[in-house]
Each structure stands twice: as structure tokens, then as C-alpha cells.
């Protein structure tokens, strides 16, 4: 999972992610930009579910982050599709709306994001 942090002309941090993980960048750009404390909350949740069968989720304005001891899933809230709307045997996946990654990889991106925020 490759990523890049940029600042726009106003100084706002933008995250760009590699193909297949774009929604991770969108999550940072939409959910974390006005609430950097969310990163602490996610990190605490990671520690609380590690080595257990527990799960945790954070429902934001645009994206929901779900995690367990091994995996992080970020899904656009607009992806609320019930099984009745799908044809039998079909599954829905949109790279711009759903992403999966390992907890350690996600933690690495969170830490790099924090470091980037401290640079001015």
C-alpha cells in the first residue's frame, strides 16, 4: 500500500493512496481532516481488539471504518446496499468506495500522517 501526503495552497493536508486503497485516502481527507483525535480513537480500538474476536467501527459523515484484530475495512456510507437489491450470485465492489488492508499497514499510514501534520 503506497501513499503520499500533500498540502494544498491553503495548507490543508491531502492523502493519496495507491490503486485499490483510494478509499483509505478519502477517509483521511474527509473524516480525519477536521477530527485528528479520531486517529487516537482508532489506535486505542486497535489495541483493544488485538488478539480477540472483538470488532469495532467508527461511522463518520462519509465513510465507516471497521476493524478487528487483523483487518481494517473502510467503506463509503453510500454503499448501503441490501441483499435484496443484488442479483443472485453477484457481489458489489467499487475500488473508490471500499478498501481492505491489514491493521499494521493502516497503523503505519496513521503514524506517517501524524508525522506529516507536525511538519510545517
Residue 80: count other Cβ atoms within 10 Å of its Cβ. Answer: 9
* Residue 34's pLDDT band (cuts 50, 70, 90): confident
* Residue 94's pLDDT band (cuts 50, 70, 90): low
Burial label for 17, CB within 10 Å (0-12, 13-18, 19+), is buried
Q: How many Å is the Cα radius of gyration of the chain? A: 15
- End-to-end Cα spacing for the chain: 25
Residue 53: all three cell numbers together: 474476536
- Whole-number pLDDT of residue 17: 96
Predicted TM-score (pTM) of this structure? 0.85
Residue (of 34, 27, 31) closest to 96 by Cα position: 27
- Whole-number pLDDT of residue 81: 54
Q: pLDDT tens digits for 47-86?
A: 999 999 999 999 999 999 999 999 999 999 987 655 455 4
Q: Is residue 88 scored above 70 in pLDDT? A: no
- Whole-number pLDDT of residue 90: 41
Q: pLDDT tens digits for 2-28?
A: 999 999 999 899 999 999 999 999 999
Amino acid at each position: 500500500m503506497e501513499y503520499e501526503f500533500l498540502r494544498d495552497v491553503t495548507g490543508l493536508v491531502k492523502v493519496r493512496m495507491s490503486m485499490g486503497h483510494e478509499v483509505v485516502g478519502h477517509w483521511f481527507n474527509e473524516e480525519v481532516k477536521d477530527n485528528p483525535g479520531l486517529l487516537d480513537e482508532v489506535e486505542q480500538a486497535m489495541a483493544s481488539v488485538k488478539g480477540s474476536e472483538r470488532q469495532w467501527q467508527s461511522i463518520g459523515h462519509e465513510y465507516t471504518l471497521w476493524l478487528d484484530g487483523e483487518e481494517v475495512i473502510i467503506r463509503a456510507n453510500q454503499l448501503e446496499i441490501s441483499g435484496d437489491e443484488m442479483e443472485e450470485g453477484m457481489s458489489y465492489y467499487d475500488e473508490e468506495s471500499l478498501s481492505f488492508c491489514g491493521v499494521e499497514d493502516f497503523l503505519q499510514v496513521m503514524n506517517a500522517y501524524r508525522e506529516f501534520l507536525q511538519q510545517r
